[in-house]
Structure 1
């Protein structure tokens, strides 16, 4: 098992800082006001299963690269979607250059490539950048179709 990382997330409701682990049971909530927190983490070849596939919420996977302009454009849009849908999704970012096994596993031919996974199953996939409203619609349609 890899060493688990945690991110510090500022609660949008009360402003308190919270440590959010990369992998955990349930969904992160603010320790102070108990509101859902955005769950945004990085994953690597060695911890992707634990971080992304075992999550009990749908996971939006951003397969990106540091040299990619559209990746830098879509990143803040994805973070907005993760914040807007706090408690409903988890955002997992994977740098394809540092994680060749995941890049190969998901047959990444262009970056950014976005996936929506639930319990390891790919529910949706799209390549290229899109604005936050379009990404949110894509995510919401995918996760509501899964429930239906």
Structure 2
């Protein structure tokens, strides 16, 4: 099966897509990793979570003007509906996502 392009992945019509732009060397990214895993588990079947290593996928990072990591972007029906740079509390992230999941 062919690998889907980044744009195909975020254009999911059925469910929102949370993109976590991160880097292996980034401390706050490592701090957010368990939060992202918990969110993915909690919203399983209602939310797609994509992790994008900015060092390995500079094109996607550049396309969305990611200037710092971690940066989280939530897409709903292919449109960017929310964006946050830097670490944030898990409950705040869940609150944002809850507005877009059915």
Query: Equivalences for 1:6-17 in 2 at 5 Å?
Result: none
Q: Please tell me the root mean square deviation across aligned C-alpha atoms, in Å.
A: 1.9
1:18-47 deviation line (CA, Å, top 9, x unaligned): xxxxx7xxxxxxxxxxxxxxxxxxxxxxx2
Question: How many equivalent pairs are there?
Answer: 102
Relative contact order: is structure 1 or structure 2 higher (C-alpha 8 Å, sep ≥ 6)?
2
- Pair 1:84 & 2:42 matched: yes
The yes-or-no answer on 1:94 pairing with 2:52 is yes
Partner of 2:74: 116
SS where residue 78 of structure 1 aligns?
A: helix
Counterpart position of 2:2: 3
| Structure ranking higher in helix proportion | 2
TM-score of the two chains, using structure 2 as the length reference: 0.88
CA distance in 2, matches of 1:78, 1:85: 10
> Pick from 83, 94, 102: which aligns with 1:125?
83
Which of 45, 54, 64 in structure 2 is aligned with 1:106?
Answer: 64
Calculate the TM-score normalised by the size of structure 1. Answer: 0.62
Q: Does 2:29 correspond to 1:54? A: no
Q: Which moved more, 1:61-70 or 1:130-139?
A: 130-139
**Whose Rg is larger?**
1
| Residue number in structure 1 paired with 2:31 | 73
Q: Which consecutive unaligned segments of at least 5 residues does structure 2 have?
A: none
Structure 1 residues 69, 55: CA separation in 2 closer, same or farther (over 3 Å shift)?
A: farther
SS in 2 for 1:76: helix
How far apart are residue 119 of structure 1 and its match? 2.6
